Homo-oligomer: A and B are copies of this chain.
Amino acid sequence: METKDRILQEALKLFAAKGYDGVSMRQIAAAVGIQAASLYSHYAGKESIFNAIIALSQERYAQTMQRLGFGPGPSPDPRSMLGLKEKDLQRISRELFLYLLKDETAAPLRRMLSSEQSRDSIAGKTYQSLYVDEVLESQTRVFEALIAAGEIRKGDPAVTALHFYAPFLLLLNRYDRKPEREAEALAAVEAHVSQFLRRYGKKAK
């Protein structure tokens, strides 16, 4: 792998763990295995590394989210959500949750953006759009279709999306960086989805 990319990879891990201000150029360089001065052959400075991380990670993230049907663009197929069985929704939910919780790129990106939300306005806007606005927007469209199809009870689709997605964010925060409680976390996700369907689904099961 190119040095230029390894810098982003290592810096992301460090920023996620210690925060932007808590990481020095020397530490990043050490993690990569070069001298601090050499970083400047690849990036103009620290802020430049930070911005490059956001730009790059965002792309990979967007692709996976779209595949799972939580993306900003056109869902994998609006109709693929119709006729979805509980079992399928549980699988997708589990996949989404584990991706955001543990994926090597997605998890550090989320942690970094979350903690830098207030300090850096780009980080703040990116966090909001990636983990809040885009997901809610996308899920609102999905529920609109499901309500129209009669698979989900009538109600405001935006509120329904909020009811479905908000617990994911809370559980992510709660079980973040606690690998020993992963089973508990997954059980909580499953219980949430299950009860959501019992409250919102047209038919039992």
Interface residues in chain A, defined as those with a beta carbon under 8 Å from any beta carbon in chain B = 16-19, 21-22, 111, 114-119, 128, 132-133, 153, 155-156, 158-160, 162-163, 165-167, 169-171, 173-174, 177, 188, 191-192, 195-196, 198-200
Contacts and interface: CB of A to CB of B under 8 A. Distances in A.
A153 B117 CA distance: 38
A132 B17 contact: no
Describe A's contact surface by its main secondary structure.
helix
A154 to B, nearest CB: 10
A158 to B, nearest CB: 8
A177 B191 CA distance: 33
Contact of A163 (B158, B173, B195): B195
Nearest to A111: B118
Contact of A117 (B21, B115, B192): B115
B119 A159 contact: no
